[in-house]
């Protein structure tokens, strides 16, 4: 069994650990490389857990949290990344949008 | 205006009111030629970009003595080095070695004690003076004191760094920014500039096409019908009419309405509970200076501030964003986008900022693809003019300001 990725109360989110990516560039790539079913499954799993997640994370210093909590924070940022796909476009990429490979986030954000 | 505000916060303005306020602009269609003409582009290079104050960065990028940033300006065929000296003063120079004109600093930014040219080791201090020349005794009458870096006029406004490549700028930065510069004073730029998210892209479109797209809201109901279906439009304001338009000598402002009945999506609602968003349903702008949200409307979303020639400072309560459009060729533009926020104090605020900037990014991806599609057919000759409505008055004003500088049609 692989090592636990998130704090103990959030063990149910372990199957989505691959979404816990540190930069916008990585999260945006994961969004465009995923199917809508994969995105929707992740969205449906994390959305009802967000209040508990933020309650947990908000008690920790943002710039100095344990690694497991840091990964959980990155998971919430992945929800922010995929939200427009689920809620607005009903497809991974912006409908009739610009090539995301050409719209480059700066400084590893 | 005497009209009564509707439920969603919109106080209607009479049709065609903005052009009536500015009869000098006329109402005729405006020519496409300035967007496709190589000759016009060359005039812009000489008469606009070499003569006006250009934003090249923010003061937070130069936190201490020795901090520098490099800004390549292909439109001016140069590179600019902006550096904070030992005395704390920010100076700008052409990033060009005095020996055989190699580009001196190659990094985009950094911190150093001095600048040493890669080619032959000529070395300059933070104030741009030439301090060391290897094999100096083999040069002829070399006067180091006269071979410093070539200075460029540099000044700051509200933490934004500007340069002017004119060897004798005709106005100070403050004079150049004029009334708009005064109007925005007091907006908490420093507080809101702690978290900065940036993107850049090389877009295949004339740089003025980009400017035009971001100084009108007529397109929002159509181009952005999926991404922001009811944030800037509503039952009583279906076409995103502006709250206010102000035209200055060369700059301009549009105050953008926000729909107070906007229904947030589930994740937007979460983000809204944790922090400030550009698009939300509660606008309380009490602490902003008088010139921001000039109509003091409850249904206020943001103000677009277009600073000639290529700088947008679009401000709301809790965050702001900027655009710099740098022409590379008549049909290519380097577009830099920055989205600024206050320091995130908690994970919830960090999440909120992430949602806000991701949505913002996705919205402008809709604009970007459209601009390239326009560019593909712009030089077809099918059309010679753009047809503008009242709410596109800023585009009309921009073309007039351009012509005032460029003089392309003068005497024709």
Q: Does the distance separating the beta carbons of B266 and A47 come in below 8 Å?
A: yes
Q: Is residue A14 part of a domain?
A: no
pLDDT digits (tens, 9 = 90+) for B270-326: 998 887 655 444 555 567 888 999 998 888 899 999 999 999 999 998 899 999 999
Pick the closest to residue A69 from A79, A57, A85 (CA basis): A57
Residue of B nearest to A101 (CA): B201
Q: What is the pLDDT of residue B284?
A: 56
Pick the closest to residue A102 from B35, B365, B403 (CA basis): B365
Distance, CA of B410 to CA of B412 (rounded, Å): 6
* Number of other CB atoms surrounding residue B351 within 10 Å: 27
Q: Which of A51-55, B88-92, B269-273 has the lowest mean pLDDT?
A: B269-273
A107 interaction partners in chain B (CB closer than 8 Å): 198
The alpha-carbon gap from B109 to the nearest alpha carbon of chain A, in Å, equals 11
pLDDT score of B1 more than 50: no
- B274, B344, B359 ranked by CB distance to A62: nearest: B344
Q: Does the distance separating the beta carbons of A104 and B359 come in below 8 Å?
A: no
The alpha-carbon gap from A1 to the nearest alpha carbon of chain B, in Å, equals 29
Q: Does the distance separating the beta carbons of B265 and A87 come in below 8 Å?
A: yes
**Reduced to 3 states, what is the DSSP secondary structure of residue A79?**
helix
Q: What is the pLDDT of residue B280?
A: 47
> Can you say how many angstroms the Cα of residue A84 is from the centroid of all Cα atoms in its chain?
12
Pick the closest to residue B101 from B86, B83, B82, B79 (CA basis): B79
Q: Is residue A15 part of a domain?
A: no
Q: Are residues A105 and B197 in contact, defined by beta-carbon separation less than 8 angstroms?
A: yes
Q: Is residue A34 part of a domain?
A: yes
Q: Does the distance separating the beta carbons of A89 and B351 come in below 8 Å?
A: no
Phi/psi-derived region of residue B26, left when phi > 0, alpha when psi is between -120 and 50, beta in every other case: left
* Domain extent for A55: 23-93
Q: What is the pLDDT of residue B111?
A: 98
Q: What are the CB-based long-range contacts (under 8 Å, 24+) for B39-43?
A: B39/B408, B40/B330, B40/B406, B40/B408, B41/B327, B41/B329, B41/B330, B43/B406, B43/B407, B43/B408
The alpha-carbon gap from B348 to the nearest alpha carbon of chain A, in Å, equals 6
A54 interaction partners in chain B (CB closer than 8 Å): 270, 274, 347-348, 351
With cut-offs at 50, 70 and 90, classify the pLDDT of residue B2. very low
Q: Does the distance separating the beta carbons of B201 and A98 come in below 8 Å?
A: yes
Q: What are the CB-based long-range contacts (under 8 Å, 24+) for B373-377?
A: B374/B205, B374/B209, B375/B204, B375/B205, B375/B206, B375/B209, B375/B331
Q: Which domains does chain B have, with CATH numbers?
A: 20-38+179-406 (3.90.380.10), 53-169 (2.102.10.10)
Q: Does the distance separating the beta carbons of A58 and B271 come in below 8 Å?
A: no
Instruction: Enumerate residues 6+ apart whose C-beta is below 8 A from B141.
Output: none
Determine the average pLDDT of the residues in B330-339: 98
pTM of the predicted structure, to 2 decimals: 0.95
Q: What is the pLDDT of residue A108?
A: 56
Q: Work out the end-to-end distance of chain A between its first and last CA atoms, rounded to an integer number of angstroms.
A: 32
Q: Is residue A11 part of a domain?
A: no
Q: Is residue A108 part of a domain?
A: no
Q: What is the pLDDT of residue A27?
A: 97
The alpha-carbon gap from A3 to the nearest alpha carbon of chain B, in Å, equals 24
Q: What is the pLDDT of residue A107?
A: 67
Q: Is residue A44 part of a domain?
A: yes
Q: What is the pLDDT of residue B6?
A: 57
Q: Is residue A67 part of a domain?
A: yes
Q: What is the pLDDT of residue B287?
A: 73
The number of domains in chain A is 1
Q: What is the pLDDT of residue A2?
A: 66
- A79, A94, A104 ranked by CB distance to B362: nearest: A94
Distance, CA of B317 to CA of B293 (rounded, Å): 10
pLDDT score of A1 more than 80: no
Element (H, E) at B396: helix B393-406
pLDDT score of B51 more than 70: yes
What percent of chain B lies above the pLDDT cut of 90?
A: 88
Q: What is the pLDDT of residue B285?
A: 54
pLDDT digits (tens, 9 = 90+) for B106-157: 999 999 999 999 999 999 999 999 999 999 999 999 999 999 999 999 999 9
Q: Which ranges of B93-193 would DSSP assign to H, the alpha helix?
A: 173-183, 189-192
Determine the average pLDDT of the residues in B21-29: 97
pLDDT digits (tens, 9 = 90+) for B179-233: 999 999 999 999 999 999 999 999 999 999 999 999 999 999 999 999 999 999 9
**Phi, psi angle pair for A79, to nearest 5°:** -65, -45
pLDDT score of B338 more than 50: yes
pLDDT digits (tens, 9 = 90+) for A78-106: 999 999 999 999 999 999 999 999 999 98
pLDDT score of B91 more than 60: yes
Q: Does the distance separating the beta carbons of A77 and B354 come in below 8 Å?
A: yes
What percent of chain A lies above the pLDDT cut of 70?
A: 95
ipTM of this model? 0.97
Q: Is residue A3 part of a domain?
A: no
Average pLDDT, chain A: 95
Peptide bond into B309 cis (omega under 30): yes
pLDDT digits (tens, 9 = 90+) for B72-89: 999 999 999 999 999 999
Find the chain A residues whose C-beta atoms sit closer than 8 A to any C-beta of B.
24, 47, 50, 54, 57-58, 60, 62, 65, 73, 76-77, 79-81, 83-84, 87-89, 94-100, 102-107, 109
pLDDT digits (tens, 9 = 90+) for B220-271: 999 999 999 999 999 989 999 999 999 999 999 999 999 988 999 999 999 9
């Amino acid at each position: 069994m692989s090592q636990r990725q998130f704090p103990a109360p959030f063990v149910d989110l372990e199957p989505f650990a691959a979404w816990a990516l540190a930069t916008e560039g990585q999260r945006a790539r994961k969004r465009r490389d995923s199917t809508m079913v994969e995105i929707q499954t992740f969205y449906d799993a994390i959305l009802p857990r967000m209040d508990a997640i933020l309650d947990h994370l908000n008690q920790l210093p943002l710039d100095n949290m344990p690694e497991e909590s840091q990964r959980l924070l990155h998971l919430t940022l992945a929800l922010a990344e995929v939200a427009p796909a689920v809620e607005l476009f009903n497809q991974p990429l912006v409908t009739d949008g610009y090539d995301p490979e050409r719209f480059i986030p700066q400084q590893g954000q | 205006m005497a009209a009564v505000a509707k439920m969603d916060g919109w106080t209607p303005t009479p049709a065609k009111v903005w052009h009536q306020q500015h009869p000098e602009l006329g109402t005729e269609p405006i020519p496409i030629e300035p967007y496709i003409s190589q000759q016009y582009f060359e005039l812009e290079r000489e008469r606009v970009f070499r003569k006006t104050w250009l934003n090249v960065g923010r003061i937070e990028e130069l936190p201490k003595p020795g901090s520098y940033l490099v800004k390549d300006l292909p439109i001016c065929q140069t590179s600019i080095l902006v550096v904070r000296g030992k005395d704390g003063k920010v100076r700008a120079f052409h990033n060009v070695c005095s020996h055989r004109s190699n580009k001196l600093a190659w990094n985009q930014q950094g911190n150093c004690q001095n600048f040493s040219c890669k080619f032959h080791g000529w070395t300059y201090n933070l104030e741009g003076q030439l301090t060391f020349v290897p094999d100096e005794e083999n040069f002829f009458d070399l006067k180091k004191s006269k071979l410093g870096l070539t200075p460029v006029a540099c000044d700051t406004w509200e933490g934004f760094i500007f340069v002017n490549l004119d060897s004798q700028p005709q106005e100070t930065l403050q004079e150049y920014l004029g009334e708009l510069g005064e109007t925005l004073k007091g907006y908490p730029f420093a507080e809101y500039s702690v978290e900065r998210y940036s993107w850049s892209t090389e877009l295949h479109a004339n740089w003025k096409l980009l400017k035009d797209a971001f100084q009108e809201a007529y397109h929002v109901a159509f181009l952005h019908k999926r991404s922001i279906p009811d944030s800037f439009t509503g039952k009583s304001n279906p076409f995103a009419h502006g709250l206010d338009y102000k035209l200055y000598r060369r700059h301009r402002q549009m105050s953008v309405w926000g729909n107070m009945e906007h229904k947030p999506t589930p994740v937007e609602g979460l983000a809204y509970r944790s922090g400030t968003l550009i698009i939300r349903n509660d606008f309380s702008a009490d602490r902003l200076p008088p010139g921001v949200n000039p109509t003091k409307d409850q249904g206020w979303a943001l103000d677009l501030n277009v600073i000639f020639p290529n700088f947008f400072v679009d401000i709301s309560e809790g965050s702001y964003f900027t655009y710099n459009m740098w022409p590379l060729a008549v049909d290519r533009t380097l577009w830099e986008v920055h989205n600024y926020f206050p320091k995130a104090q908690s994970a919830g605020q960090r999440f909120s900022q992430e949602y806000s900037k991701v949505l913002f990014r996705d919205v402008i991806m809709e604009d970007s693809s459209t601009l390239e599609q326009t560019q593909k057919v712009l030089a077809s000759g099918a059309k010679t003019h753009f047809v503008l409505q009242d709410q596109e008055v800023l585009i009309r004003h921009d073309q007039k300001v351009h012509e005032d500088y460029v003089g392309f049609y003068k005497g024709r």
